[in-house]
Every structure is written in structure tokens, then in C-alpha cells.
Chain A
């Protein structure tokens, strides 16, 4: 079983630039989640999809952030006009629902540094 994959693994950008990250979930998983993790902290929820529908967004997801999952498979997370405060690890997770033991499985993350 192929796990969750994310691309790129690392991204360095200059303030004000746009960046886009991709997440490929475990095949057949219908839920996909995005989290953000800053240094020394636990991951914080950003948003999640069930199939192609975005069902919940955190207050952390400002209007500079947009996420899509157009065909219910892979997802993209775009950050426009990046700020230094956006520097973090962006983690993607997927799960299968319904299921008696629903568990989110995480990818390796994309580490973003905004200069």
C-alpha cells in the first residue's frame, strides 16, 4: 500500500511570491486533511475534504490560502503573497470513512521557508 505523498518536500521562496503544494492520499481514501506545524508545536488543522467537497476550514486559513481537490483524488494547497509567518511544515493526511477505526495517516510534509 502506497502511503500519503507530498511534493515538494522543501520549498524556499521570497516574501510576496505564490507557492503551491501537492498531496496524493492513500488510494481509496476519501478524506484528505491539511495541517500546519510550526517549530516546536503540534500540527494544527487547516481544512479537510471528503471526496472533492471542502467541508471545513479553520480560522487559520486566511484568504491568502486556498485548497482544492478537483477530482477527489490529489489535493493542492496554494498560498498567495507569502509572508514570513507562513514558514512552517505543511502536512497532509488521509483517511477512509465510514470505518470503525477511522485513522488519519500522514505524509512526509512540505517544509516551507519564506525569506
Chain B
């Protein structure tokens, strides 16, 4: 069964600290992996997208890694800000590159406190 599992379910950190969110998947065949940020009351917004051959991609203070062998990904947030408080969703695209279906994780809720 194609699944995407994220951990932790929720996380509280102090402003300025770093954190790492984890994603494990069992989707096969694999097309790409995406990380989305979803603010409360808003739709998800893409942070990064990585294909099989990419093992790291950065977007500002966000750095995603991918290990396609172990089917694991992480999202590292550096020097957190209050505006980073949101839900972070790991999404894996399975199937062919033309018709890949997105399988969403349940998300990690991050709260950054001053």
C-alpha cells in the first residue's frame, strides 16, 4: 500500500532554533517528492520538489533531503522565525511521470515561540 508517514506529529521550538522534520514513504514506483507549507486557513504552498536523482534541495532557510534507497526525506529549517509556524506536508508522487498520483502525509504541525 502506498503510504507517506511523517514525524513528529507536532513540534514546538523557540524562535531562532533549527529543526528537522521527517518523512518515510512506501510509494512505488516513485516519481518525485515534495514538501509543502500550509498556514492555518490557507492552501498548501510548495517549498521543494525533488526527483529520484536529487538528494538535496534548498529554498531559503528550508533544506530538503532525499534518500531514495531508504525511502526517507527530511526538511530542515534553519534559524526559525515566527512565520514558520505552520503545517508541513510531505507529498510523494507515484506512478509514471505523466500521470503520477500525489500521496500526502498527515503533516507535521510546527509552532515557533518567541
**A and B co-occur in one complex:** no
Residues on B facing A (Cβ under 8 Å): none
